[in-house]
Chain A
Amino acid sequence: MATNASRPKVKADPKAGAKAEPRSDAGSTQGPHTRPRSPHLGVWRWGPHMLVSILHRVTGAGLAVAGLAMLVWWLTAIAGDAGGFSTFTAATVHPLGRIVLVGLTWAFFQHLLSGIRHMVMDSGSGFEIETNKRFAVLTLVGSLILTLLVWVPILGGMQ
């Protein structure tokens, strides 16, 4: 009961509590004298560089599974009879097939541009925070533009 009684006092004056324990918010971005401690996996903000980092992995896994499955299906369909090939082309013009193909196209360009970014970073360049973020945003914009360049003529030509 004693601890319950003391709680409202701490809540009423949070600054006093922070002073008493200066390290309790070491990972937050607030507070002038606190430094982040590593690793701090629970405290972070989204930024373009983080988004591009996880997208590189997600798009890579998607391309490795769905993209290569499509490649094998496409090649075996070309090698096979006309019936098998028309099954393949029917799948690619089906709305669901379109969604998969547009997604794979975007994943391909995002992974490709992000891969170039990683190669630059492997050389030791581009780690300044602003440069790094700008390059990350460029991969997102670039993959969107390239995907549109591929698909707008195709989808526009259908009508």
Chain B
Amino acid sequence: MSLGQSATPQGRVEGLGSAREGGEHWLAERVISAALLLLGAWLVASLFLLPSLDQRTLIEWLRGASGAVPMALFIVAAFKHALDGLKVVVDDYVHDEANRFALNTLLLFAAIGGASLALFALARIAFGGAA
């Protein structure tokens, strides 16, 4: 039984009580935030250090492992962090349970879709033929 013990039999039937995942969820949000702190600093520093921001230079940059790997991690971390954050906003302001569920599901789809699109573009750059 993954749910925490509710004090009463009815509470157990209704699935009340601690989910026993709150602490890990809270910590996971912060671990992602810390990762994004490093990856965000990497992205800003990289854009500064690149000799130019034209297409050829950017392709060269994202073809090497030192560009492509942190960028892939940045994409995953940024979309996960955005999903975590927007979910908190939805949970705070959308009080109707059905609307909240629908919005959170849409957010999940949008985040996975956006991250996949970004990763696909990155893969095309990294593994593509001559530009």
Query: Interface with B: A5-13, A72-80, A134-142, which one?
Result: A72-80
Interface residues on B, range: 20 to 34
Question: Would you mind naming 6 contact pairs between A and B with Cβ atoms under 8 Å apart?
Answer: A68-B114, A75-B118, A75-B121, A77-B55, A108-B40, A119-B30
Interface residues on A, range: 20 to 34
Main secondary structure, interface of B, reads helix
Determine which residue in A72, A85, A119 has the highest number of CB atoms from chain B within 10 A of its CB, and name it. Answer: A72
Q: Which residue of the partner chain, among B37, B62, B75, contacts A78 with CB atoms under 8 Å? A: B62
Residues of A within 8 A of B (CB): 57, 60-61, 63-64, 68-69, 71-72, 75-79, 82, 85, 108, 112, 115-116, 119, 122, 150
Main secondary structure, interface of A, reads helix
* Contact A122–B30 (Cβ < 8 Å): yes
* Contact B89–A78 (Cβ < 8 Å): no
**Chain A residues positioned under 8 Å from B121 (CB to CB):** 72, 75-76, 78-79
* Contact A85–B55 (Cβ < 8 Å): yes
**Chain B residues positioned under 8 Å from A116 (CB to CB):** 37
